Each structure stands twice: as structure tokens, then as C-alpha cells.
Amino acid sequence: MGETLSVSGWVLFGVAFTVAVFLFAALRRSQTTLANQAIQDGNVTLISKLMQSHFLPTPLQEITISERQFPFRVRADLQRAIDRLFDSSTAISHFCGVRKEYSHEALTLSDCIVVSQHSPAVSVPPQYEEVSIGDDEPIRCLKNGLWFLEQGQNKYAVLLAPVGHFGQISGMQFQIAVLNNPEGTRITQAFFKHLEDSVLKAESYRGKILSLEKSEHSYTGASTGITVHKLRNVERQQVILPRKTLDLLDRNTIQFVQQRPRLAKFRQATKKGLLFYGPPGTGKTHTIHYLAKALEGHTTLLISAEQVGLLSEYMTLARLLQPSIVIMEDVDLIARDRATMESACEEVLLNKLLNEMDGLKEDADILFILTTNRPEALEQALASRPGRIDQAIEFPLPDDEGREKLVRLYSEGVEVSDDVVGVIVNRTDKVSAAFIKELMRRSVQFHLERNGTGRIELPDVEQAIEEMLFSGGSLNLKLLGAEAKDGSTRCVVVERNT
């Protein structure tokens, strides 16, 4: 009985498959018939006919085609190049989009020349997409297009089309068709030189704060690829660190960048690697926000741990957009000691980071900033090798003076008496800057709950400390950075209310 059902099932499957193949073939024949009928009726314009007409009296067999491919992420700068390219000395006789059915490879000018009855390249309206570059308005980028151009007595054509692998778009391709003569060669060289210069200028992204995103579009609907970030505006006086740490920071960042031209003159390296280390919440990320603004003219690249696989592409951008700052936070996630690694993949990522930092030329105007909460866990080949990490800067827990500044910084907008500030400083020994920030926010919240008038009182602070240190249990202490490594509470607190 089971064998009969099995045979019957295979028979039914065979019949269904045959019917599906027959219907698909019929649909293809119908589509081809409709396409051919549209061509015969003159409802579509064949690109091959446009090409022949444009280059007359020269036969298409006597033209030459050259091409260049550019990374997909720089299409905003390529669009700027297109907009400027065809100036008053170049006349556009015709422009259109191009469509070719059943084309699984990149569209080429050869496809546009060949006359095909089954899948001809036809003229269609041009298609655009909006690409966000972090400005108020996105750039409107062409997806594909074909220009028929004339420069004096010289005729040529330019095709822009996406290229990719395995169905994924990876770049933009420009092809130019010119007459096979010295003037045609000159036009080709000038055209590609203009594109190269536009990409190297990189005016769409230079000097901005960038990261590479895997998603093709944002929630605004605009295309991404390179995401432009707006970091918090952190001023110099808002960086609360010990004087020794501030001096070391300034010398190795602000002053180093200012001296770069003179360093280069004396043949000294203009690249530098810095390691910011210290307990969580001590201001490493906060300081990076300050440096991203303070180092004017620098392009900042933010590399998260999950994006380290794109490190080569990040470094390509860093070289292109230099002077640049390459920031990798929590570097211990990928650069911990080899002895603690559990797979070859982890070593590959570490080696990739080491090779990229080593591969930079001495005259590369690139500043590496790596951060970690666990410097002892780092691979020695990274942390103990000048030329990769040139200076380690410790971000310690704030001292009394630092905690006072932090209280006043994070209580802007409300009034706090000197007495209350003094109490907070005395009762928050060995806590992080992040703890002070959260303490002041909760104090303001308790103040608002009792309908306060804008002046923080001591009961507000006591209630905030009570909630932060006791109500949330031991896990909350760790989250807020108020527990030392030995498990004790860092903070000297008021007695609990019973």
C-alpha cells in the first residue's frame, strides 16, 4: 500500500512539473511575442538604432569601448562628477535610461549595440535614488543612464550601470564609446581623469563622521551604504579628566595634528596609534566625541566590533579621506590575547587589524584611537608594539576635584548649592563619571516628583543614592560602575532609611 502511494505521488509530481514547465515556456513565448510586436509597432526605441544613428557615418564596428569600475559607496561623488562633466563644450544630443530583459550580468555598451529579437536593449525613462550624505538634502543619484554626446566634430557615448556579483550590487561601471582615433583616445582619458579626481576629492563625505552599514536603505527610504553620524557636541571644558591625563591627551592629539606639517618636513611619521583604557564610564567615549569636533577637517570612521570584517574597506576610506581618525571601541573583543582565543576566525580578525595598522605608510595622516576596559587582556603584538599603539592614555576614576566638576556639569539647568555639591563629592568616592551623571539625573527626577522649584536639595540626592545602590541589588551596582573588583561598594553612602 505504501509503495503504491509513493509511486502515485511521484507520478503526480511529474505531471505537475511538466505542466509548470509548459506554462513557463508559454509565458516566455508570450512575452517575447509582445516585445517583438511592440518593436514592430514602434512603441519602444531600440538602443542599437540610437547608437547607429548617433555615430553615422562611422560603422559601429569602428568604435572602441573602454570602462572603469568604482565602489558602490562612492556613487554620491560619481553623481557630482556627472553633474559637472558635460559642460558647455559638450553637447548632449540624447539621454535615456536603458533596460534589457533577462540580463543577469552588468549592462554593457556591447549589449546596446547588438541587435536582438528576443532581449533587445531599449530606451526607458531614467531612474534615480536618493542617497543620504548627512546634509539637509540627499543627493539624487542615477541608477543607470546612457548619454549620446558631441564635442566639436567628435561623437561619443557614455553608459553608467551597476555591477555586482551573485546578485549583489558592488560597484558602478562607466563605459565610454569613442571613434578609434587619437581624438577619441584623448576624450576617453579626459573623461576617466575627471571621474578619478571627483572620487579622490570625496566632497560628499570628507570631514564627516562615518560608518559603513550593511543595510541598503534607512527608515527614511534614502539609500545608505555610508552612514553619516551626528555626535554630541562636547566642548573642551566638558572633558573632565585629571590634569596629567588632559596634558597627555592634548599632546598626542591636538598638538600632534598641529605639528604634522613640520614632522613631515623632518621625515617623521604623521600617523599615530592611541589606546584609551580605564574602568567603564570614565569618559573614553565622551572624549572621542570631543576629539571628533576638535580635530577640524578630519574624517572620523567609527568601527564597531561586528563590523571589523569590513576593516579593509574602512582603511581604504581612511586613506581616501585623510586626514582621518579611525575609532575602534572595545578593541579587546577582537584583539585579546591569542592564548584566550577559541577559534581560527578570531585570530584572522586580529591579524587583519595588525596588518592594516602595519600597512599604513609613515606619511598617512591617520590617527587610530582604540578603547578598552580590559587592557590586560589585549594581545601583546598590538599593545606592546610602537607603530601600532604609540601611546596609552589611562582614564582613571575621577578624584574629588573631578567629581565636583562632573556634578556641576551634569546639573546644568538646575540649582545645586555648594553644600549639596560638597556632600555629593564626599559620598561618591571612587565612582565613575557615568555614575555621577546618572546620580544627578535621578536627583532631578526626585526633585520634580516633589514639585520642586529648580533647586536640588539633599533629600533628592539621598533618595537617588538609595535607589541606585540598594533597590537594584548587586547587579545594579555593576551596571552603574559603583562596585569595585573585589565586590565592595566604591561609593561612601548615607545610611539607609528604615
Question: What does the pLDDT read at residue 188?
Answer: 95
> Residue 495 pLDDT more than 50?
no
Mean pLDDT of the chain: 83
Q: Which one-letter DSSP state was computed for residue 115? A: -
CB count, 10 Å around CB of 299?
Answer: 23
The mean-pLDDT minimum among 176-180, 235-239, 356-360, 387-391 falls in 356-360
Given a contact cutoff of 8 angstroms between Cβ atoms, the answer to whether 363 and 267 are in contact is: no
* pLDDT tier, 31 (very low <50, low <70, confident <90, very high otherwise): very low
CA distance 122 to 399: 72
CB 393 within 8 A of CB 277: yes
Single-letter amino acid code for the residue at 444: V
- 277: Cβ–Cβ under 8 A, 6 or more apart, which residues? 284, 371, 372, 373, 375, 392, 393, 394, 395
Task: Say if residue 243's pLDDT is above 90.
Answer: yes
Q: pTM, whole model, 2 decimals?
A: 0.79
C-alpha cell at 266: 623632518
Instruction: Please give the pLDDT value at position 416.
Output: 92
The reported pLDDT for the residue numbered 291 is 95
- Mean pLDDT (whole number) for 204-228: 76
pLDDT of residue 437: 92
For the segment 165-187, the average pLDDT, to the nearest whole number, is: 87
**Per-residue model confidence (pLDDT) at position 496:** 45
